[in-house]
Amino acid sequence: NAGVTQTPKFQVLKTGQSMTLQCAQDMNHNSMYWYRQDPGMGLRLIYYSASEGTTDKGEVPNGYNVSRLNKREFSLRLESAAPSQTSVYFCASSESGTAREPQHFGDGTRLSIL
Amino acid sequence: AQSVSQHNHHVILSEAASLELGCNYSYGGTVNLFWYVQYPGQHLQLLLKYFSGDPLVKGIKGFEAEFIKSKFSFNLRKPSVQWSDTAEYFCAVNGLGNNRLAFGKGNQVVVIP
């Protein structure tokens, strides 16, 4: 059982380049999330999708777009990468998105913007 | 808006020592509380959670946490740590009707053999 799978695991971009981070879950979860993790900052929510067909902004959405392609997949796109977007990105999912559901995390994508 | 505070970002202790990590939150309503652990190079894993009932909850690997409503706190404890407990620990909170978790900044714990 793979859980939450993120690709790629590592990526280096130049400023201004675009990129899409992929996330897929095989747990039939309804809700999916994208976070970024920066040293001393904890995890900050970028975007989330409460259910297939819906997306909402989180705490730090600027510079990002998302697509909930289907129930399994939730992608995060950087249209014009900036050095401030250097971070570790985590995708997560939860069964129903209600407050009591724990979230299940992927292994992360380590992204460096030069 | 809900927020979470974790103090003492870096903690270094020896094996067999006791560990306590503080977590305070600001949210006026009913909350759901979580502790997640991130071992080096791995993803976040759920350590324990509290929704209601007994305010002392037990999680995996000998960890426990106590919810004190009057202090808006959910502190994590382990009586005797092991080297394998070296990890970063995150407290997270959300309110009923809100499916967005707010995370604290984390506690980096290093256990020296």
Inform me whether the C-beta atom of residue A39 falls under 8 Å from chain B C-beta atoms.
Answer: no
Which one of A23, A27, A43, A46 would you mutate to disrupt binding with B, by most B Cβ within 10 Å of its Cβ?
A: A43
Strands (E) across chain B are located at: 3-5, 10-14, 19-21, 24-26, 31-38, 45-50, 56-58, 64-68, 73-78, 87-95, 102-103, 107-112
pLDDT band at A39 (very low <50, low <70, confident <90, very high): confident
Assess whether pLDDT exceeds 70 at residue B1: no
Report chain B's C-alpha Rg in angstroms. Answer: 13
Strands (E) across A19-81 are located at: 19-25, 31-38, 42-49, 56-57, 64-68, 74-78
pLDDT at residue B98 in the model:
62
Which one of B38, B93, B101 would you mutate to disrupt binding with A, by most A Cβ within 10 Å of its Cβ?
A: B101
pLDDT in tens, B68-95: 999 999 999 999 999 999 999 999 998 7
Assess whether pLDDT exceeds 90 at residue A13: yes
Inform me whether the C-beta atom of residue A48 falls under 8 Å from chain B C-beta atoms.
Answer: yes
pLDDT at residue A1 in the model:
58
Inform me whether the C-beta atom of residue A99 falls under 8 Å from chain B C-beta atoms.
Answer: yes
Rounded to whole angstroms, the Cα distance separating B12 from B96 reads 35
